[in-house]
Amino acid sequence: MEFQVFGTKSCNETKKALRFFKERRMKVHFVDLKERAASKGELQRFAQKFGWEKLLDRDGKHFRDRGLHVAHVSEGRIPALLEDDPMLLVTPLVRQGNAIDVGWDEAKWREHLKQAG
């Protein structure tokens, strides 16, 4: 079983997710969003399940630094924003097969581990 984790090395939530899987001896493929952005297809996969709004980190420092906190960012603008600037994503994004999760969610990850047996 392999998990794919999208995030950044400086994100505390991503670090916790990587540690969670490492402690359970799970194989993890880490995608550093500062080095390589998530593909349009990957983003759409997460958006289909959670919606674009859930992927946008409106509480993040980068969102404020770009001045987006004072602008009206409609759901229609979010896909283009996230493709152009992956630092606006909520992290970590975790994928294991068809199971996907947004943000820190230890309970769901434990569930995925149990199902995989």
Nearest by Cα to 29 from 6, 12, 10? 6
Measured distance CA(13)–CA(103) in Å, rounded: 7
Cα gap 84→91, rounded to integer Å: 16
The CATH classification of domain 2-116, taken from the options 3.40.640.10, 3.40.50.620, 3.40.30.10, 3.50.50.60: 3.40.30.10
115 pLDDT higher than 90: no
Residue 117: pLDDT band (50, 70, 90) is low
Q: Return the sign of the alpha-carbon dihedral for residues 63, 65, 69, 70.
A: negative
- DSSP-based three-state secondary structure for 89: strand
> What are the structural domain ranges in the chain?
2-116
**Nearest to 21, CA basis, from 112, 89, 100:** 112
Report the pLDDT value the prediction gives residue 1, as an integer from 0 to 100.
Answer: 78
Structure tokens at 72: 């009206």
> Which pLDDT tens digit goes with each residue over 53-107?
999 999 999 999 988 888 888 889 999 999 999 999 999 999 998 889 999 999 9
Asked if the model's pLDDT at residue 10 lies above 90, the reply is: yes
